[in-house]
């Protein structure tokens, strides 16, 4: 019975969203496949998405980045959290290696915890990263040359990544030179059919009103300009979080039972930051995207370039976003034409499965 140990970063849901389609694809090819999920991503994320039998074993696999809301990175706090994480690195590595040995998986995959790469290698299990970014690439531009311990942490990350058997680099992805061997795979997207009429009927949205999904990668804002949003004629909003009483143009996702991918297919515009899952699926279903850039996260540039080439995207400055100067940009987004170039085929999950099958027994079943 094939078993995969799947280590997933809990920095948002984007890493899990890349892995789940790959595991589901493998499950279709190997019906007896089972998965151990090694992550602090909450159980409910997988319950409606992962079709392969799985067991969740929570653990902190990495730090990622610490943020104040979805747009403000706290690099000082991020580095201090990494310093604490690495202070007992040897003990963490020993514990994770023992856990893998006890589970006896056929394969370790990671998106993209470097601890899993090192522990899998230490346990003598083939170890494959499936990712569009690595944490050393995200952090390297924010290392302080006056703090040599930060460079030491980066080197430790790179040594751990360097023990992986293979990197499957998801398009569009960062170069990630720490991995000794990398194969490119296509974009990963798992769009769902639209439920536009059902959602609009449930929320009692007027037929001529535009519905804008404000979603910044699962990280909520402490406050949104609700009164300003309520005053925008012809526009209604869907947000993740509670809505103050007596607001008729702003609706909470809690009022709906739809999957996020269904929402992406059903709204008229998405307002977000450039993140992998939302960007790629918006391109797949050709929903217009208003994006607010952070300008300090390494994978932002290739995602914006991908959106501009294959999707329908328009930038809203951070200042205009925070000051709720949204209306003109929303109307511009609604008027965006379809792109001239079709997007690359969304073959990433199938590509990854084809690369992983040789590591697994019963791959022909």
Return left, alpha or beta for 237; rule: phi > 0 is left, psi -120 to 50 is alpha, else beta.
Answer: beta
Average pLDDT over residues 202-213: 96
The DSSP secondary structure of 91-116, one letter per residue, reads HHHHHHHHHHHHH--SEEEEES-HHH
pLDDT of residue 274: 95
Average pLDDT over residues 9-27: 95
Average pLDDT over residues 30-56: 96
DSSP 254: G
| pTM score | 0.94
pLDDT of residue 364: 45
pLDDT of residue 223: 79
Contact 211, 271 (CB under 8 A): no
H-assigned helices in 162-259:
196-203, 226-230
pLDDT digits (tens, 9 = 90+) for 114-141: 999 999 999 999 999 999 999 999 999 9
Average pLDDT over residues 214-226: 80
152 pLDDT more than 80:
yes
Pairing of strands 210-214, 235-239: parallel
User: Bridge-partner residues for 128, per DSSP?
Assistant: 109, 166
pLDDT band at residue 3 under the 50/70/90 scheme? very high
Average pLDDT over residues 294-318: 96
Average pLDDT over residues 95-118: 98
The pLDDT mean for the chain works out to 95
How far is the C-alpha of 258 from the C-alpha of 264, rounded, in Å?
Answer: 10
365 pLDDT more than 50:
no
Tell me the percentage of the chain whose pLDDT exceeds 70: 98
The answer, yes or no, to whether the previous bond of 172 is cis (omega within 30 of 0) is yes
Side-chain-side CA neighbours of residue 79 (13 Å): 17
Side-chain-side CA neighbours of residue 19 (13 Å): 30
277 pLDDT more than 50:
yes
pLDDT of residue 171: 98
Average pLDDT over residues 153-162: 98
pLDDT band at residue 218 under the 50/70/90 scheme? low
Pairing of strands 72-73, 67-68: antiparallel
113 pLDDT more than 50:
yes
Q: Domains in the chain, start-ordered, CATH in brackets?
A: 3-188+347-359 (3.40.50.2000), 196-334 (3.40.50.2000)
């Amino acid at each position: 019975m094939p078993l995969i140990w799947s280590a997933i970063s809990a920095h948002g849901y984007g890493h899990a969203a890349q892995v789940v389609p790959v595991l589901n694809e493998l499950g279709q090819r190997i019906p007896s496949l089972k998965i151990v999920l090694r992550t602090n991503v909450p159980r409910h994320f997988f319950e409606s998405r992962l079709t392969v039998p799985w067991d969740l074993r929570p653990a902190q696999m990495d730090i990622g980045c610490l943020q104040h809301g979805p747009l403000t990175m706290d690099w000082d706090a991020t580095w201090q959290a990494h310093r604490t994480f690495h202070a007992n690195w040897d003990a963490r590595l020993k514990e994770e290696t023992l856990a893998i040995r006890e589970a006896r998986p056929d394969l370790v995959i990671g998106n993209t915890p470097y601890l899993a790469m090192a522990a899998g290698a230490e346990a003598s299990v083939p170890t494959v990263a499936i990712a569009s970014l690595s944490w050393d690439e995200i952090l390297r531009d924010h290392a302080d040359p006056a703090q040599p311990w930060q460079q030491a942490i980066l080197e430790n990350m790179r040594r751990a990544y360097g023990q992986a058997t293979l990197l499957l680099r998801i398009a569009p992805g960062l170069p990630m030179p720490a991995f000794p061997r990398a194969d490119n795979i296509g974009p990963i997207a798992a769009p769902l059919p639209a439920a536009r009429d059902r959602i609009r009927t449930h929320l009692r949205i007027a037929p001529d009103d535009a519905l804008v999904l404000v979603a910044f990668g699962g990280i909520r804002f402490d406050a949104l300009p609700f009164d300003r949003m309520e005053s925008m004629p012809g526009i209604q909003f869907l947000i993740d979080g509670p809505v103050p009483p007596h607001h008729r143009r702003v609706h909470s996702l809690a009022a709906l039972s739809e999957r996020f991918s269904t929402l992406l297919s059903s709204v008229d515009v998405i307002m977000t930051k450039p993140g992998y899952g939302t960007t790629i699926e918006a391109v797949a279903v050709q929903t217009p995207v208003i994006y607010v850039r952070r300008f300090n996260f390494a994978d932002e540039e290739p995602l914006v370039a991908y959106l501009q080439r294959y999707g329908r995207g328009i930038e809203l400055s951070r200042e205009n976003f925070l000051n709720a100067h949204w209306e003109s940009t929303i109307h511009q987004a609604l008027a965006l034409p379809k792109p001239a170039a079709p997007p690359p085929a969304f073959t990433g999950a199938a590509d990854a499965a084809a690369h992983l099958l040789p590591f697994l027994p019963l791959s022909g079943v």
